[in-house]
Amino acid sequence: MKAIGIVGSPRKNGNVDTLVQAVLDGAKEAGYQTKKYYLNEMKYQGCQACGYCKSHESCRLEDDVTNLLKDIAEADAVVFGSPIYFHRFTGQFDLMMDRMYSLIDTGFKSRLPPGKKAVIVTSQGNPDLPMFERAANEFAEILKFLGFEVTEIVRMASGGAPNAVLERKDLLEKARSAGRAL
């Protein structure tokens, strides 16, 4: 069994990274092999709207997201993590998300095999947690459309400092147990 984590924050070891890692640690305990991608360290383009993926099986672009998309297709579970930037996920994350369009076939059905599980992780600076929950909720709908079962959304507020999460033992445990339950 394979679980991959995707970190959409540019802050390595920041709140999202730490929470994604906690989910992966839990998944490891449950017997998964794990791997983590840092989008900020990868070179890739956004979707070019060329339509190639609707007349062929995959995206025409060949870059670092090509391998990630292959890994998503093979993985049993995926942890998607991003901070909230201006009410939505980061640009790094959104560019990757648009490339997931190539996981949809000509008939607008998912190309992914069924049975995949997903956990979403977000962190925001604002202490008002519900204020920015729309981004994760909308992304959960996209994942459901792609055939994922979204088993948990781990949301953190007051995450202005990159290590604020270390004080949040409750959230770290929630993330780890989400991983264990995959």
Ligand X SMILES: Cc1cc2nc3c(=O)[nH]c(=O)nc-3n(C[C@H](O)[C@H](O)[C@H](O)COP(=O)(O)O)c2cc1C
Give contact residues for ligand X (rule: CB under 6 A): 9, 11, 14-17, 83-87, 123-126, 132, 159-160, 162
How many CB atoms sit inside 10 A of residue 7's CB? 30
Rank residues 5 and 159 by Cβ distance to ligand X and give the closer one.
159
As measured in angstroms, the least distance from the Cβ of 116 to ligand X is 24
Rank residues 147 and 162 by Cβ distance to ligand X and give the closer one.
162
- Report the number of secondary-structure helices (H) and strands (E) in the chain: 6, 5
Strands of 117-123's sheet, edge to edge?
33-38, 2-7, 77-83, 117-123, 149-156
As measured in angstroms, the least distance from the Cβ of 55 to ligand X is 37
Amino acid in position 79:
V
Angstrom distance (rounded) from CA 111 to CA 129:
34
Q: What is the DSSP letter of 107?
A: T
Rank residues 168 and 176 by Cβ distance to ligand X and give the closer one.
168
Nearest residue to ligand X, using CB? 159
As measured in angstroms, the least distance from the Cβ of 56 to ligand X is 35
Rank residues 67 and 126 by Cβ distance to ligand X and give the closer one.
126
As measured in angstroms, the least distance from the Cβ of 36 to ligand X is 13
How far is C-alpha 91 from the geometric centre of its chain's CA atoms? 13
Rank residues 50 and 166 by Cβ distance to ligand X and give the closer one.
166
Angstrom distance (rounded) from CA 67 to CA 49:
19
Question: What is the helix (H) or strand (E) element at residue 56, kind and residue range?
Answer: none
As measured in angstroms, the least distance from the Cβ of 92 to ligand X is 11
